[in-house]
Amino acid sequence: MTGKVAVVTGGSRGLGREMVLAFAEQGADVVIASRKLENCETVARTVEAMGRRALPFAYHAGVWDAAGDLANAVYDEFGRCDVLVNNAGMSPLYPSVDAISEALFDKVVGVNLKGPFRLSATIGTRMIEHGGGSIIFVSSIASTRPSAQELVYGAAKAGVNNLTYGLARTLGPTVRVNCIVPGPFLTDISEAWDMDQFEQAARTGYALGRGGEPDEIVGAALYLATDASSYTTGALIEVDGGPR
């Protein structure tokens, strides 16, 4: 990825942070975009210590106009964007399906579907003007197999799956659009899980019998970000431990 510029939303923590560091290790300059600027700045310092340029940027995926602000910042700083990873997401808990408020529904759909669409449309169009690029969505196994606690999140991520195929046709042939579909990963989010219950369920529910470690997302991300996937577009790649 030497000489390339990669933008990662939700890049200050979890799977996003792992992808940021992997891209930098492979020679890319990176834009770390997330809601809390100070967290982005922390990751940016790590990237700069690796000898790469980094731009931390406060970005709220649920705000329509924020996509244009981020795109302008990227092109003003680097003059290009070769890889865009739509990783920002949220799945707040709710006590029951009838307790889901309109505000919560709109917020979850905004962050997980509206924002990725707008940012991909904005940067993807500029990618075409600059000769091409790679867009990577991050969906979830909840997009096809949602639990009772992930109904709105799963529906939004199902929309992301659909966008992957649709935008691959819309932005091709110079821009490739693909999607990573992760299963359960042991990021900081898992700190709120009942780990005994999860590990018991994972042993019987997943072929590999465990949750994923954060750095195990890197292989799929690098494949889709580089020319290794030059003939891959519109694809959903499951990285989920092989559900039984």
Is residue 201 one of the residues assigned to a domain? yes
Is residue 222 one of the residues assigned to a domain? yes
Please tell me the pTM assigned to this model. 0.95
Q: Is 12 a catalytic residue?
A: no
The tens place of each residue's pLDDT in the chain, 244 residues long, gives: 999 999 999 999 999 999 999 999 999 999 999 999 999 999 999 999 999 999 999 999 999 999 999 999 999 999 999 999 999 999 998 999 999 999 999 999 999 999 999 999 999 999 999 999 999 999 999 999 998 989 999 999 999 999 999 999 999 999 999 999 998 888 776 666 667 777 787 788 888 888 888 899 999 999 999 999 999 999 999 999 987 6
Q: What is the CATH number of the domain that holds 114?
A: 3.40.50.720
Is residue 22 one of the residues assigned to a domain? yes
| Catalytic entry in 140, 143, 206, 229 | 140
Domain total in the chain:
1
| Catalytic entry in 143, 153, 206, 229 | 153
Is residue 96 one of the residues assigned to a domain? yes
What residues make up the domain containing 202?
5-239
Q: Is 140 a catalytic residue?
A: yes
| Catalytic entry in 59, 94, 143, 157 | 157
Is residue 137 one of the residues assigned to a domain? yes
Is residue 26 one of the residues assigned to a domain? yes
Is residue 209 one of the residues assigned to a domain? yes
DSSP string, the chain: -TT-EEEEETTTSHHHHHHHHHHHHTT-EEEEEES-HHHHHHHHHHHHHTT--EEEEE--TT-TTHHHHHHHHHHHHHS--SEEEE--------S-GGG--HHHHHHHHIIIIIHHHHHHHHHHHHHHHTT-EEEEEE--GGGTS--TT-HHHHHHHHHHHHHHHHHHHHHTTTEEEEEEEE--B-SGGGGGS-HHHHHHHHHHHBTT-SPBPGGGGHHHHHHHHSGGGTT--S-EEEESS-B-
Is residue 244 one of the residues assigned to a domain? no
